[in-house]
Copies of this chain bind each other. A is one copy, B any other.
Amino acid sequence: MNRTLKVALLQDIDRGSRDANLDAIEAGLRKAAAGGAQLVLLQELHNGPYFCQHESVDEFDRAEPIPGPSTERIGKLAAELKLVVVASLFERRAAGLYHNTAVVFDRSAAIAGRYRKMHIPDDPAFYEKFYFTPGDLGFEPIQTSVGKLGVLVCWDQWYPEGARLMALTGADLLLYPTAIGWDPADEQAEKDRQRDAWITVQRGHAVANGLPVLACNRTGFEGAPDGGRGIQFWGNSFVAGPQGEFVARAGTDAPELLFADVDLARSEAVRRIWPFLRDRRIDAYADLVKRFRD
């Protein structure tokens, strides 16, 4: 049984305006479809800059309702090009209530489902707790014509719990739109450790859950509005198979449309030799819902 899924990840720079970014997304989706991709993963907050480098109330102007102008444009493309598209947007849910939200289209302009980023970071140059209300939709994969998509966003990628809950709900793939980069002041060795840790922990989710993982990251330098050092987004978007093995990897410094063939049948084959789900000690996991066992 051939269950190969051709995917494409659009690793990109900020193009300077919402329209310019949506134009680049449209060009990427057309190129992905022409290349035979069935599913396209976009990077985090793809229609704008990574605006969380400072805390400013004016940045909330970037938020859009969902559905809204950006989802309308992307949805029409998903329908026209017969693509499953995983997009990432700054959602305006109500005045004073905003989320970092992934939206899934299934070969149709209609929204197939959404995921609101559950784990929200906050550290210098990534002031997300100011902007994003933690998600309230839980860890629920989104059903599409190519499978159940376990869509998570950026900071979620460090949490085995999110990946596991998606797997326990029948996800066929784990997908991470993300925006992560270096502090230019860090030494090269620290930069390497950070990038490798980011790749490793996500490949670890693939292994622990016997699932392919797709991670689409930004690239390029984005200056800080307040005169800070800015962020050098490190690209390195990748696709891993259910043993964590690399299927495809993008470079560091340039926009790239990364294609990969994902063999969905391999997940079950791998889970048969490594049946981790069978042996989970659910009788002994209760304290995972504690902040700390003290």
Q: Is A119 in contact with B208, judged by CB distance below 8 angstroms?
A: no
Question: How many copies of the chain does the oligomer comprise?
Answer: 2
* A202 CB, min distance to chain B CBs, angstroms: 8
Q: Is A244 in contact with B197, judged by CB distance below 8 angstroms?
A: yes
Q: Is A207 in contact with B203, judged by CB distance below 8 angstroms?
A: no
Interface-forming stretch among A46-54, A74-82, A275-283? A275-283
Secondary structure dominating the interface of A: helix
Query: Which one of B134, B164, B244, B287 lies within 8 Å of A196 (CB-CB)?
Result: B244
Query: Which one of B139, B162, B276, B292 lies within 8 Å of A159 (CB-CB)?
Result: B276
* A114 CB, min distance to chain B CBs, angstroms: 16
* A179 CB, min distance to chain B CBs, angstroms: 16
Q: Is B193 in contact with A287, judged by CB distance below 8 angstroms?
A: no
* Number of chain A residues whose Cβ lies closer than 8 Å to a Cβ of chain B: 54
Q: Is A288 in contact with B161, judged by CB distance below 8 angstroms?
A: yes
| Chain B CB within 8 A of A20 CB | no
Within 8 A of B (CB), among A256-294: 273-277, 279-294
In the complex, what residue of chain B is closest to A140 when comparing beta carbons? B293
| Chain B CB within 8 A of A103 CB | no
Task: Give a binary string over A163-207; 1 marks a CB under 8 Å from any B CB, 0 the rest.
Answer: 011001110000000000000000000000110110011011101
Please report A residues at the B interface, Cβ cutoff 8 Å. Answer: 118-121, 123, 134, 138-139, 155, 158-162, 164-165, 168-170, 193-194, 196-197, 200-201, 203-205, 207-208, 243-245, 273-277, 279-294
